[in-house]
């Protein structure tokens, strides 16, 4: 895989402007709409999450990945029909190729739906998380972190509705029972050969929004008309990108942008935390009636024949999970 990078020029948006209301809020909405339309990625600052807390979460990730092999594999994702737990290096696939990363996935703590009561395949994703016995504090701290990011993402979703010149509550019905949330702690080990640079292959995210916390190592890259744009870490900021559900809802006016992570060449590792927010799994994504001047710029959702988009949220999320985790698919979804 070729590797080109140019200095990051992502827009920087301050969430404090949204909270300020008035003209500051209007400016934030305008900047948000432009960022999402032009590149689909931006830095989010002044979001209310203390830098010390961000560093603490990255430190928890480092502690988790330093656990003995046996401790991590005791909570291997293949044990879970709900796609929660540990995935080893090269066990997840993107674009059909293995990713050079290890990760820990968790979602909301939920009660599993008994097989006899399931009416759709995606309902098998609902259930409890797996937590490592060796780090008992992980459960409460990471669930609280996920809730904080969920709150931020709901503000952004409301702002996106306004940027699309819709009522502020245009998406409210789809998250009324609480949005679907999914968080990953990720470790990208240093690459050992020039061949394997795929930390994670080129892809789009299936939900509404993604918030990423990076350590000090670069690696995230965004596809642009001029090639791959390197998204350098910005201290204290989250990197935000829109997913396929917002592309669907806006008939392609907003575009979910392809992105990838290149494995670190010099550093021994790169740590990040990715938070994904979607509509609740039972929801259907609305097709918003955009005003005419926006509708003229809507290009229709860019559905790849190899990666069809579904309006039913659970179906869209399950599609992505099955493609990424063939071992879980074989064990629980055959």
pLDDT value of position 93 = 85
DSSP 278-302: ES-TT-B-------HHHHTT-----
DSSP 84-150: -EEE-TT-SEETTEE-S-EEEEEE---PPPPGGG--SGGGGG-S-----TT-TTHHHHHHHHHHHHH
The kind and range of the H/E element at 247 are helix 244-249
Sketch the domain layout of the chain as residue ranges: 12-332
What average pLDDT score do residues 59-85 get?
Answer: 97
Backbone angles phi, psi at 152, to 5 degrees: -60, -45
Alpha carbon 279 to chain centroid distance? 13
Residue 18 has pLDDT above 50, yes or no: yes
| CA 230 from centre of chain | 18
Rounded mean pLDDT of 45-52?
A: 97
Q: What is the mean pLDDT of residues 102-116?
A: 95
Angle at the Cα of 323 from the Cα atoms of 322 and 325, rounded to 5 degrees: 65
pLDDT tens for each residue of 224-262: 988 999 999 999 999 999 998 999 899 999 989 999 999
Global pTM value: 0.93
Radius of gyration (C-alpha) of the chain in whole angstroms: 19
Q: Which two tokens stand for residue 276?
A: 């994904």
Asked if 40 contacts 242 with a C-beta cutoff of 8 angstroms, the reply is: yes
Higher pLDDT, 149 or 267: 149
Q: What's the whole-number average pLDDT of the chain?
A: 91
pLDDT for residue 4 is more than 60: no
* Residues 297, 165: Cα–Cα separation, whole Å: 14
The pLDDT of residue 118 is above 50 = yes
Task: Assign domain 12-332 to its CATH superfamily.
Answer: B-lactam Antibiotic, Isopenicillin N Synthase; Chain (2.60.120.330)
Whose tokens are 């259907």? That residue is 284
Residue 31's φ and ψ, nearest 5 degrees, are -65, -40
pLDDT digits (tens, 9 = 90+) for 259-284: 999 988 888 899 999 999 999 999 99
Residues in the chain, how many?
Answer: 334
């Amino acid at each position: 895989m070729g590797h080109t990078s140019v200095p990051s020029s992502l827009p920087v948006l301050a969430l404090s402007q949204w909270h300020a209301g008035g003209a500051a809020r209007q400016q934030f909405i305008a900047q948000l709409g432009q960022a999402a339309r032009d590149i689909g990625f931006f830095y989010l600052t002044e979001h209310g999450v203390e830098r010390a807390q961000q560093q603490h979460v990255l430190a928890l990730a480092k502690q988790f990945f330093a656990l003995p092999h046996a401790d991590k594999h005791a909570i291997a994702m293949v044990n879970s029909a709900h796609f929660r737990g540990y995935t080893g290096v090269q066990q997840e696939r993107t674009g059909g190729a293995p990713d050079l990363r290890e990760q820990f996935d968790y979602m909301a703590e939920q009660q599993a739906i008994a097989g006899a009561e399931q009416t759709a395949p995606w309902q098998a994703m609902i259930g409890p998380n797996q937590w490592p016995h060796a780090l008992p504090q992980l459960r409460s701290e990471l669930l609280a972190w996920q809730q904080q990011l969920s709150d931020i993402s709901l503000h952004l979703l409301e702002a996106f509705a306004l940027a699309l010149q819709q009522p502020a509550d245009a998406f409210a019905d789809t998250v009324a029972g609480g949005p679907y949330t999914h968080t990953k702690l990720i470790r990208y080990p240093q690459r050992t050969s020039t061949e394997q640079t795929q930390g994670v292959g080129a892809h789009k995210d299936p939900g509404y929004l993604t918030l990423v916390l990076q350590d000090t190592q670069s690696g995230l890259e965004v596809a642009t008309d001029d090639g791959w744009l390197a998204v350098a870490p910005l201290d204290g900021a989250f990197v935000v990108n829109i997913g396929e559900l917002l592309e669907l809802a806006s008939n392609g006016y907003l575009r979910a942008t392809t992105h990838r992570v290149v494995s670190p060449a010099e550093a021994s590792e790169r740590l990040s935390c990715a938070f994904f927010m979607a509509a609740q799994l039972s929801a259907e994504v609305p097709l918003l009636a955009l005003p005419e001047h926006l509708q003229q710029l809507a290009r229709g959702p860019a559905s790849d024949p190899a990666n069809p988009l579904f309006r039913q949220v659970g179906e869209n999320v399950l599609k992505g999970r099955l493609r990424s985790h063939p071992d879980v698919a074989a064990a629980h979804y055959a």
